[in-house]
């Protein structure tokens, strides 16, 4: 299998919409109960790429997953922390390392940008995602019981974290992805 990872474009919005929509409609992996329209995803991709990476993973030339970073909280002092989001298409080849390959690329880029910590926010019943995070060196940062109600049940969330930077008294500002991607 030939695997490649590339920066997303607005043209990937339908793929992201369809993959995320599967998880919205069929699982408790996301707490979303409605899937935004394709244009909303196009705008999300373009907005994300200003600051954070947004990657598409392809296997044998076919999109099979996506990953991106986002600000963990809206306050300025949180700007060195990133929430990572990673999804594979439901028909993506299983147990082939696609998830870890995609996640590694995302983390490598976030590290290069100067971010300090990456967080994964995972539904407590999502054992495959928890196992992936543990295998990638994440540790549990917190567990919140009954955070959301979906599909007739209360669901908890586990926050996982991985330090990717070297903490100092005065950190440098993270480099915007659009500047990093442009080679500046």
Residue range 123-152, pLDDT digits in tens = 999 999 999 999 999 999 999 999 999 999
The answer, yes or no, to whether residue 184 has pLDDT greater than 60, is: no
How many other C-beta atoms lie within 10 A of the C-beta of residue 149?
11
- Model-level pTM? 0.95
Phi and psi, residue 40, nearest 5°: -60, -40
Residue range 42-74, pLDDT digits in tens = 999 999 999 999 999 999 999 999 999 999 999
Share of the chain above pLDDT 70, in %: 98
Q: What is the pLDDT of residue 31?
A: 96
Domain 3-166 has CATH 3.40.630.30: yes
C-alpha pair distances (Å), 128 with each of 7, 23, 29: 25, 14, 10
Residue range 89-116, pLDDT digits in tens = 999 988 899 999 999 999 999 999 999 9
SS3 151: coil
- The Cα–Cα gap between 145 and 166 comes to 31
Domain boundaries, the chain: 3-166
- The Cα–Cα gap between 145 and 123 comes to 10
In this prediction, residues 115-119 reach a mean pLDDT of 98
């Amino acid at each position: 299998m030939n695997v490649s990872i590339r920066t997303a474009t607005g043209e990937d919005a339908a793929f992201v919409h369809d993959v995320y929509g599967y998880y919205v409609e069929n699982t408790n992996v996301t707490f979303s109960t409605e899937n935004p329209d394709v244009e909303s995803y196009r705008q999300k991709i373009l907005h994300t790429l200003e600051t954070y990476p947004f990657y598409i993973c392809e296997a044998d030339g076919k999109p099979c997953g996506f990953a991106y970073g986002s600000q963990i909280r809206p306050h300025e002092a949180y700007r060195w922390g990133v929430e990572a989001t990673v999804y594979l298409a439901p028909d993506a080849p299983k147990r082939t390392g696609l998830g870890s390959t995609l996640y590694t690329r995302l983390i490598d880029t976030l590290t290069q940008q100067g971010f300090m910590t990456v967080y994964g926010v995972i539904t407590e019943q999502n054992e495959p995602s928890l196992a992936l995070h543990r295998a990638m060196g994440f540790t549990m940062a917190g567990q919140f019981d009954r955070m959301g109600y979906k599909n007739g049940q209360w669901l908890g969330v586990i926050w996982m974290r991985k330090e990717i930077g070297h903490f100092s008294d005065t950190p440098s500002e993270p480099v915007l992805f659009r500047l990093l991607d442009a080679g500046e």
